[in-house]
Structure 1
Amino acid sequence: MVSKGSLDGDIGSTTNHQPVHQGPETVQEMPDMNQDSKKNKVKDQSNKTVPFYKLFSFADSWDYLLMFVGTISAVGNGVSMPLIAIIIGDAIDAFGRNVNTKQVVHEVSKVSLKFAFSGAAAFFAAFLQVACWMITGERQAARIRALYLKAILRQDISFFDKETNSGEVVGRMSGDTVLIQEAMGEKVGKFIQYVSSFLGGLVVAFIKGWLLTLVLLSSLPLLVLSGSIMSFVFAKMASRGQAAYSEAATIVDRTVGSIRTVASFTGEKQAIAQYNQSLTKAYKIGVQEGLAIGLGLGTIRLFVYCTYALAVWFGGKMVLEKGYSGGDVMGVFNAILTGSLYLGQTSPILTAFSAGQAAAFKMFETIKRQPNIDAYDTAGMQLDDIYGDIEFREVCFSYPSRPNEMIFNAFSISISSGTSTALVGQSGSGKSTVISLIERFYDPQGGEVLIDNINLREFQLKWIRQKIGLVSQEPVLFTCSIKENIAYGKDGATYEEIRAAAELANASNFIDKFPNGLETMVGEHGAQLSGGQKQRIAIARAILKDPRILLLDEATSALDAESERVVQETLDRIMINRTTITVAHRLSTIRNADVIAVIHQGKVVEKGTHAELTKDPDGAYSQLIRFQEIKRDSSEQYDANASDKLQNFVVSRRESSWGSSGIENSNHQSFRVSNHMSTSTTLGLFETSEEGSEVVPSAASHKSKTPDISFRRLAYLNKQEIPVLLIGTLAAAVIGAMLPIYGLLISKMIITFFEPADKLRKDSKFWALIYVALSVASFALHPLRSYFFAVAGSKLIKKIRLMCFEKIIHMEVGWFDKAEHSSGALGARLSTDAASIRTLVGDALGLLVQDIATVVTALVIAFVANWQLSLIVLILLPLLLVNGHLQIKSMQGFSTDAKKLYEEASQIANDAVGNIRTVSAFCAEEKVMELYQKKCAVPVQTGKRHGLVSGAGFGLSIFFLFCVYACSFYAGAQLIENGQTTITEFFQVFFSLTLASVAISQSGLMTAGASKAKTSAASIFAILDQKSKIDSSYESGMTLEDVKGEIEFRHVTFKYPSRPDVHIFKDLSLTIHSGQVFFR
């Protein structure tokens, strides 16, 4: 029985119905509308953040325990700082009130013991604070990464059509989760510590002098307001910056993932231009962030130091009018000073919180998203088995990305179980849509898709997909071994089952030729293998699934004639006793199908066997055959008279060259050569020689040594920004010098409060005005420092990313066959490593310059005051430096190991998202998650060790700080007793050097970041130092005005470096004359 119809219009015309992601029926004319909607969506989402408490939505009971202990410890550590103010106040009164030097020594000795005991308690509190918060941050960040990937894998295909891509996913998993981790890890502990120091300082200040404290707190609302505004502005900018970098990450993934296409079409310059455009957007946002942070910090410093001026002036009044002692005033002053300094340090932490909240929004939205077709939904019908009857009943369907374009309108077709049905028709007619609806990648808007007369929606999704096998036009392989790729077809497949599937798929003949057999790595997207080999592995995967329904979506259309023949024979074997639907490209491959259905504009216009349909010369099927024959004839014309001559030539070549190649003649491909004299022939080539792409050894076998990092080299990269860096450095140096100057002013203030009344009134006003002047200078300098370092740092990030990208895409194609050079791994490196390096030139460099200026200024002030006491205090300061150095060395190994494993985990995520249809069709979501979490297990453990080391280092730095205070006071008292120094000189030395030590101690908190930045720099330079064996950017070499097209292989011997024992060519000689046409 033949159902007849005809095709409207020219058979060669194409009616485009399919969306962008529909494989062979893809059209390329609609990205503009989607692009605009995506941009609007990104712009809208860039202004959204999650509430801070929502960052901890995925904490478990252990995390709550760690956060509780970490919080209590942070409060204890924070409160220890204001206690210093009480102890120092007691020491000041001991120095100022006692004329008897022995009594001074006695009192100060007790003060030193208080410092020592307080330091021991602070050590344990600081250790638990940092360790607990870093460990819980690592745990929760790992959980968020896994939940995000799991949520991505559960989404329906329309989500990937409209809302995301593999580049964005990898960018978020490797970049945004770092920001989230920073916002919910040790920075939370620091924030609690700093706020506790401020609140503890308030309590101490009220105890010492409530009236003076109330006056000084008048500036608090201004501090809170300025901090809030800065945090709000930074959050907006951080969101915009993340959107820009997400766009850049997509370009990297798309370019590296299609590097062979980019290289063959010399599209490197276009890719670089697109990447540069995205980086320019991110650069501008980074500079704006720097300016905003500088203005915020400058404003906060202005209010803080004006408060100090108020303290000096009003404190003098309290001494004169309310009977305050100098120790009371200094106790209040130091408590407020300590508290406000720590409150000021919450500003960069608040910006980190804002960045984390912004980064979390899109990830958390995805995690919460419930898809219409849920891969993890366990509800639905499960039967003992299915027969395989398929029916489309009045189906209406349009793709979600283009809802206004109907693909099917009342489409109906019935397919009996155990039969083979071929779907043919023009591109865009809806053939592949049938496959997508049977796999339930989409649900129809109307009508029903039925299997065994049961609506497809009634079945449990995973169960019914396990009954369906899919082989696509472009065989999708994952970046792992052949065995692991085949194993995706069945959970818990044994080696014997995998081997049997490979043999049935006719794949074992080429697999056995590889040195590693089934363990051979296939490279990214299967780049190590030929099209025929990849397709047979994909078929083996489908065979292992043992499906009742087999879907072949143009499974042989991308293959050459010989590979198509081999693959088609394989398919014919496995189609027996299965319901098979074939979407056909070459009509010759479906002649033996039980039923052939011609689809045109979303309807079945003709249906029957090949013999039945060809009876009608005017039928749709006959027209398709004629059209295909016309296309073939127009491309294959040749002069038959010259064929015999060339055939003789081929035979002689085969005997002299190919016969010695060591490759079996049974697996040959064919191509035809036609020269300008209209001569042609068929030449025999061997599949192995065509398929011999380099096989990558496992990543474990590659142990790359991390190079030593030269900061001079980083500076050289930033040499064009030297003027900018000099201005930023000058501003940072002046800011750094201000800290010991404040210490000098404090020592002068102490003496002022013990002076006669008239002199006290005069000097308190004078020192208050000096504070005001310095606060104005600080307000002006902070924006300069932040802005210019942001310019230099952002330009360095842009330059490094662009240089790396240029280097990457100009590497020879074989370079990308290595697992560590996959698009996921390279995308993760470009996303995170360049950003980490910024700390060496941006924030960390500014802080380094600031600290050097602080130390130098402090030493000058101290040695001018009293060199003996300065030497004593100076001997103690290296304890802080040694501690910081040990932290860096301890963390470097952790960072390098964890980084490599996270890159490998990123590639798993990249593969899964890029091949989401294959993952969904083979129900491989759980397998992907298992592989991903296995890769992440070691880095998470490393992060926990990192937390313990950092906690110990931070605790020691706090303990050493208290020791410095204790020893300094005791040594000072001894020198005063011996008449070798005065109280004024002692306080000058003490406050200048201890403030310097505080700066050094705080720098120690950045050692983890510095260690990570050095590891990242090593990773970046490892890329930049690579030498491409075939560099398309080189302009050296011969160029001709015109190329005639004569191609000759002259005694070519070749084997792949990864398989040196397998010859691909051995003394191959071959000439293809100008004008000849070569067919694979």
Structure 2
Amino acid sequence: MDAAAKGRDGEEQAVESGAEHGKKVSFAGLFRYADGTDLLLMLVGTVAALANGVSQPLMTVIFGDVIDAFGGATTANVLSRVNKAVLSFVYLGIGTAVVSFLQVSCWTITGERQATRIRSLYLKSVLRQDISFFDVEMTTGKIVSRMSGDTVLVQDAIGEKVGKFLQLVASFLGGFIVAFVKGWLLALVMLACIPPVVIAGGAVSKVLSKISSKGQTSYSDAGNVVEQTIGAIKTVVSFNGEKQAIATYNKHIHKAYKTAVEEGLTNGFGMGSVFFIFFSSYGLAIWYGGKLVLSKGYTGGQVITILMAIMTGAMSLGNATPCMTAFAGGQSAAYRLFTTIKRKPEIDPDDKTGKQLEDIRGEVELKDVYFSYPARPEQLIFDGFSLRVASGTTMAIVGESGSGKSTVISLVERFYDPQAGEVLIDGINIKSLRLDSIRGKIGLVSQEPLLFMTSIKDNITYGKENATIEEIKRAAELANAANFIDKLPNGYDTMVGQRGAQLSGGQKQRIAITRAIIKNPKILLLDEATSALDVESERIVQEALNRIMVDRTTLVVAHRLTTVRNADCISVVQQGKIVEQGSHDELVVNPDGAYSQLIRLQESRAEEEQKVDRRISDPRSKSTSLSLKGSISRNSSGNSSRHSFTLPFGLPGTVELTETNDTYGKNQNEQDNDCEIPKKAPMGRLALLNKPEVPILLLGSIAAGVHGVLFPLFGVMISSAIKTFYEPPEKLKKDSSFWGLMCVVLGVVSIISIPVEMFLFGIAGGKLIERIRALSFRSIIHQEVAWFDDPKNSSGALGARLSVDALNVRRLVGDNLALTVQIISTLITGFIIAVVADWKLSFIILCVIPLVGLQGYAQVKFLKGFSQDAKMMHEDASQVATDAVSSIRTVASFCSEKRITSIYDQKCEASMNQGVRTGIVGGIGFGFSFLMLYLTYGLCFYVGAQFVRHGKSNFGDVFQVFFALVLATVGVSQTSAMATDSTKAKDSAISIFALLDRKSEIDSSSNEGLTLDEVKGNIDFQHVSFKYPTRPDIQIFSDFTLHIPSGKTVALVGESGSGKSTVIALLERFYNPDSGCLRSCDGWQDHGCCGTPPLDDKKCRYHCSSQGWCNSGKRKA
């Protein structure tokens, strides 16, 4: 016992220690689940990535050759010299296109394949674990989080980022090799510019991480308010808690606004610093390069090649940081996942070494068992416990709560092994039997049956996978389930909802019984199978159980002693030991026995309840009793019948309930109308939300305009500097110093304009997010309760909408406004510079230059990673895993591990195929973009050489036009790629205004209506008809009439689903009746007439204590 417990504890500590202290697998260990195909893909992808990385330093060499060809040639030979370099661009473009395609597609495909395999292995291993694993080491939430979160981190670390990292490493090494080969002295000087970039980037990242963490904490707190408020919306509404919830929410999002401003300023300084160092580095290179041209015989092409090669290497090193971050995250995530995958459980359903029994008699025996639960090893449940159940007999186990009754079931199912003693079936220790063999002979029905989110038929077939429809129907008839299933609109194909939410407790229990007996088990385990049901449902289910227990060995764990009177033998358990045993008649003979004491205890409780019932039913008392009959299952039959119940205390009126088969009616139509939202985003209204920040936006736009001219002006400086290198010495010395200084000035402008821009837009964007979230939450919380019944309006969905929609709209109005101003400024400035230099050449290059934009867009998109959409691709598969893990005892008892894994794999296959297509399409696009880039460069220089040859342009003008337009286009394309998806943003805007414009049918914020100074408390339901909006095919009330005088007490009783709680819901005005009138509080009306008091005034006079009571966080309703 101790060794086993310590082993599990040790492993748990190892896992937790790994999580807490950053334990991780080695980088090579990430790929341990790669197969032969993956190894081939990785090999090809590696070679291609290295080749692709080398291509960029080679491009700088060709670019230098072009500069030397122009600068050192005459009008007569310029074309022939330039053509050689142009051909090099063509060859480089074709080669780069091929290797880029192979790099992206191979690494993306293998990452998707391996991640899918890891997910499958993880779920398979989790389902394989013994129950103690879930008691001690892992929760459902952790498992689902790891399957959805950690596997994405691993995929990031083994997918396209590996190829990108190899490409960047090759570019880094290649760039420095080219630079030192071309001119080691200038390369050495340029190296001094790299540490400042690294220091600035690292410092900004660290500060941003802290600020972002603060903001996320605030948003998380706000999200908790949303979750708690909407999750307990009826409680919040009942106690007029909307204002308090709104105030708490607004407090948290205001904190988030402050961090958004800090983040904008920090981001601005970070980007401004990088631009300053970048421009200043070029300034240094131009000034010192001019000196080297004069003193060391460098050419202008050499200087530019060294400069571009060093900057390419440095930028590659910087761009590799996100990849290394992804690797670290993936290694930590892989440690957590792989530890579970490798874990071998003590009770292993995959172990095939045990005996396999074809048939059993069904004799069960627990022999001198010692047992404590792994989660509570210090608490001994059984201390030498023994029990024998003969074949074909029924043994009932009764006792106080915590005495060990259900533990017997768990040991027979072999969810746990005893620390000492034996559990025998037909005299054989179950440890020596194959687990699937013995569990296949046992049927289990638990107190709270868990159904999977699929059809009734599929749920039943978990008991017997290949069962025919005839077998299913026979089992359903035996379990008393056939009648209600046949009355459902879709019969056996009816979906049961999450955890069977669409069925009543009795219906779920009967489905569970059908599932248990369809495999015709020799041993039947009933673990308080009726204790959670109402009296009528218990009677129906008990009849089914009595029918199926015939000729089976049955172990019944029961709380209600009335259900075990007919058992062959009853064992009374106290503190882990059997204190009495015998039939009911034998045990009641001893009045002082434990069984007799239990009976008297339950009877005394029953008598107390009966006294209360008699007091309630007494017409002379102030109480009233009402019985509502007619359940959901009866209503769903579609027949129309009228039931009229006379109140037993002689009050005027009757309670009438009409059952109809009326389908989608008024409420549904109204709900559908609510869903009709405008197709076009109201951009004008959206801008008005930012109206208070207009001055800030105008100042930010000016700063963005200055930011936009930086790249075109930089193009002028570079082209002028290139021309300078081929001028006479005195002019070269003077001009190189001047243009080097201008680059530094440009850097100073950038370190001022960019922080100002991002700070101001951070204020405007942060205010917009705060305003949208506040308005949206206010609108949400004032919607009628019926609106929240729709799954689309669950707390999770609405929380996501508040977060995602506000962020998308902020980007559309705030970020994109800044980017739009930048783009316009860049294009206008670049166009003017190019046209002034040479308008003919400008218009020719403008015809092909958009292809460079395509390359820049694709490049930035790839750097952001194709894997960003991976988090959205596994929702269906995650639901399968969630259902399985949360119902692990059900899965284990029916040996459904392989079936669940198979279903999960099928769901994952679709997303994996999508990932493969993404890899191929992404590879084609990435390769094509490089091809177009280099072909465009070649074409531009070829046309420029033609112009120079024919005397229509000169060397300086060609490069001024080229750099002005190319750098302007690259700046625009990279800026555009960083912009938000406008389609998503516009959809979010539509969603937000649909929410803000939706008028609640029952608005608690409305002040319309009367305010009563004093209330007596008369309540009157007059001919009320009602259907829940989410179940329009089920009539709850039809012509329902009820009068409750002031000061009287009414008890509503009846079957599950008969409408008892609906009376409370209508009285609280969670819903409005479809027709009829509800009068309360001295004649004013809740619905149907004018003169209704405001909801907050009315609810102040109610107090409701409901079954599903909820207290949220620090807020107390």
TM-score (norm 2): 0.77
Which residue, out of 316, 319, 328, partners 1:345? Answer: 319
Q: Does the residue aligned with 2:463 lie in a helix, a strand or coil?
A: coil
Tell whether the 8 Å contact from 2:50 to 2:170 is kept in structure 1 after alignment: yes
Q: What residue number does 1:65 align with?
A: 40
How far off its partner does 1:587 sit?
1.5
Q: What residue number does 2:116 align with?
A: 142
How far off its partner does 1:535 sit?
0.9
Q: What residue number does 2:411 align with?
A: 437
How far off its partner does 1:1054 sit?
5.1
Tell whether the 8 Å contact from 1:823 to 1:907 is kept in structure 2 after alignment: no
Q: Does the residue aligned with 1:324 lie in a helix, a strand or coil?
A: coil
Q: Does the residue aligned with 1:866 lie in a helix, a strand or coil?
A: helix
1:56 pairs with 2:31 = yes
How far off its partner does 1:541 sit?
0.8
Counterparts of 2:477 and 2:372, CA distance in 1: 40
Alignment of 1:770-849 (within 5 A): 770-772=742-744, 774-775=746-747
Judged with a 3 Å threshold, the aligned counterparts in structure 2 of structure 1 residues 498 and 662 are, in CA distance, closer, same or farther, namely closer
Q: What residue number does 1:95 align with?
A: 70
Which residue, out of 423, 428, 453, partners 1:449? Answer: 423
Q: What residue number does 1:908 align with?
A: 880
Judged with a 3 Å threshold, the aligned counterparts in structure 2 of structure 1 residues 75 and 651 are, in CA distance, closer, same or farther, namely closer
Counterparts of 2:420 and 2:77, CA distance in 1: 96
Which residue, out of 473, 485, 492, partners 2:459? Answer: 485
Letter in 1 for 2:569: V
Tell whether the 8 Å contact from 2:462 to 2:515 is kept in structure 1 after alignment: yes
Q: Deviations over 1:570-617 (max 9, x none)?
A: 011111222222221222111112222222333333322222222222
Query: RMSD over aligned Cα, in angstroms?
Result: 5.5
Q: Deviations over 1:779-811 (max 9, x none)?
A: 777788888888988999999899999988988
Q: What residue number does 2:716 align with?
A: 744
Greater mean alpha carbon deviation, residues 551-560 or residues 880-889: 880-889
Letter in 1 for 2:54: V
Judged with a 3 Å threshold, the aligned counterparts in structure 2 of structure 1 residues 1045 and 565 are, in CA distance, closer, same or farther, namely farther
Q: What residue number does 1:537 align with?
A: 511
Q: What residue number does 1:200 align with?
A: 174
1:982 pairs with 2:954 = yes
Judged with a 3 Å threshold, the aligned counterparts in structure 2 of structure 1 residues 986 and 160 are, in CA distance, closer, same or farther, namely same
Counterparts of 1:444 and 1:1043, CA distance in 2: 63
Q: What residue number does 2:104 align with?
A: 130
Counterparts of 1:588 and 1:693, CA distance in 2: 45
Which residue, out of 882, 890, 908, partners 1:936? Answer: 908
Q: What residue number does 1:627 align with?
A: 601
Q: What residue number does 1:181 align with?
A: 155
How far off its partner does 1:357 sit?
4.5
Which residue, out of 560, 564, 567, partners 2:538? Answer: 564
Alignment of 1:401-800 (within 5 A): 401-637=375-611, 638-639=613-614, 737-772=709-744, 774-775=746-747
Judged with a 3 Å threshold, the aligned counterparts in structure 2 of structure 1 residues 775 and 406 are, in CA distance, closer, same or farther, namely farther
Counterparts of 2:217 and 2:132, CA distance in 1: 21
Judged with a 3 Å threshold, the aligned counterparts in structure 2 of structure 1 residues 1023 and 754 are, in CA distance, closer, same or farther, namely same
Tell whether the 8 Å contact from 1:59 to 1:140 is kept in structure 2 after alignment: yes
Structure 1: gaps spanning 5 or more residues: 1-33, 697-702
How far off its partner does 1:536 sit?
0.6
Q: What residue number does 1:6 align with?
A: none
Q: Does the residue aligned with 1:629 lie in a helix, a strand or coil?
A: helix
How far off its partner does 1:488 sit?
1.4
Tell whether the 8 Å contact from 1:242 to 1:359 is kept in structure 2 after alignment: no
Counterparts of 1:795 and 1:847, CA distance in 2: 18
Counterparts of 2:348 and 2:252, CA distance in 1: 34
Count, aligned residues: 1022
Counterparts of 1:216 and 1:372, CA distance in 2: 62
Q: Does the residue aligned with 1:1079 lie in a helix, a strand or coil?
A: strand
Which residue, out of 926, 934, 939, partners 1:962? Answer: 934
Counterparts of 2:800 and 2:351, CA distance in 1: 31
Q: What residue number does 1:209 align with?
A: 183
Alignment of 1:160-171 (within 5 A): 160-171=134-145
Judged with a 3 Å threshold, the aligned counterparts in structure 2 of structure 1 residues 1076 and 260 are, in CA distance, closer, same or farther, namely same
Tell whether the 8 Å contact from 2:222 to 2:253 is kept in structure 1 after alignment: yes
Q: What residue number does 2:850 align with?
A: 878
Q: What residue number does 1:84 align with?
A: 59
Judged with a 3 Å threshold, the aligned counterparts in structure 2 of structure 1 residues 807 and 334 are, in CA distance, closer, same or farther, namely same
Tell whether the 8 Å contact from 1:803 to 1:1024 is kept in structure 2 after alignment: no
Q: Does the residue aligned with 1:1076 lie in a helix, a strand or coil?
A: strand
Q: Does the residue aligned with 1:612 lie in a helix, a strand or coil?
A: helix
Tell whether the 8 Å contact from 1:85 to 1:331 is kept in structure 2 after alignment: yes
Tell whether the 8 Å contact from 1:202 to 1:336 is kept in structure 2 after alignment: yes
Greater mean alpha carbon deviation, residues 143-152 or residues 800-809: 800-809
Q: What residue number does 1:21 align with?
A: none
Tell whether the 8 Å contact from 1:66 to 1:133 is kept in structure 2 after alignment: yes
Counterparts of 1:728 and 1:50, CA distance in 2: 47
Counterparts of 1:266 and 1:378, CA distance in 2: 61
Tell whether the 8 Å contact from 1:674 to 1:1078 is kept in structure 2 after alignment: no
Judged with a 3 Å threshold, the aligned counterparts in structure 2 of structure 1 residues 1061 and 842 are, in CA distance, closer, same or farther, namely closer
How far off its partner does 1:538 sit?
1.0
Tell whether the 8 Å contact from 1:168 to 1:249 is kept in structure 2 after alignment: no
Letter in 2 for 1:397: F
Letter in 2 for 1:755: E
Q: What residue number does 1:1075 align with?
A: 1049
How far off its partner does 1:469 sit?
1.8
Tell whether the 8 Å contact from 2:130 to 2:415 is kept in structure 1 after alignment: yes
Which residue, out of 902, 920, 929, partners 1:948? Answer: 920
Tell whether the 8 Å contact from 2:261 to 2:762 is kept in structure 1 after alignment: yes
Q: Does the residue aligned with 1:102 lie in a helix, a strand or coil?
A: coil
Q: Does the residue aligned with 2:926 lie in a helix, a strand or coil?
A: helix
Judged with a 3 Å threshold, the aligned counterparts in structure 2 of structure 1 residues 470 and 442 are, in CA distance, closer, same or farther, namely same
How far off its partner does 1:1062 sit?
6.4
TM-score (norm 1): 0.79
Tell whether the 8 Å contact from 2:782 to 2:1005 is kept in structure 1 after alignment: no
Tell whether the 8 Å contact from 2:786 to 2:1028 is kept in structure 1 after alignment: no
Tell whether the 8 Å contact from 1:167 to 1:250 is kept in structure 2 after alignment: no
Greater mean alpha carbon deviation, residues 719-728 or residues 161-170: 719-728
Q: Deviations over 1:416-449 (max 9, x none)?
A: 3322222222223332233233333333344443
Counterparts of 2:414 and 2:251, CA distance in 1: 39
Counterparts of 2:749 and 2:470, CA distance in 1: 77
Counterparts of 2:778 and 2:577, CA distance in 1: 48
Tell whether the 8 Å contact from 2:571 to 2:580 is kept in structure 1 after alignment: yes
Q: Does the residue aligned with 1:545 lie in a helix, a strand or coil?
A: coil
Query: What is the identity percentage for the equivalent residue pairs of Structure 1 and Structure 2?
Result: 52
Judged with a 3 Å threshold, the aligned counterparts in structure 2 of structure 1 residues 895 and 331 are, in CA distance, closer, same or farther, namely closer
Judged with a 3 Å threshold, the aligned counterparts in structure 2 of structure 1 residues 711 and 358 are, in CA distance, closer, same or farther, namely farther
Judged with a 3 Å threshold, the aligned counterparts in structure 2 of structure 1 residues 281 and 73 are, in CA distance, closer, same or farther, namely farther
Counterparts of 1:275 and 1:399, CA distance in 2: 42
Q: Does the residue aligned with 2:397 lie in a helix, a strand or coil?
A: strand
Q: Does the residue aligned with 1:618 lie in a helix, a strand or coil?
A: coil
How far off its partner does 1:849 sit?
6.7
Judged with a 3 Å threshold, the aligned counterparts in structure 2 of structure 1 residues 910 and 518 are, in CA distance, closer, same or farther, namely same
Tell whether the 8 Å contact from 1:824 to 1:906 is kept in structure 2 after alignment: no
Tell whether the 8 Å contact from 1:87 to 1:115 is kept in structure 2 after alignment: yes
Greater mean alpha carbon deviation, residues 453-462 or residues 1046-1055: 1046-1055
Q: Does the residue aligned with 1:930 lie in a helix, a strand or coil?
A: helix
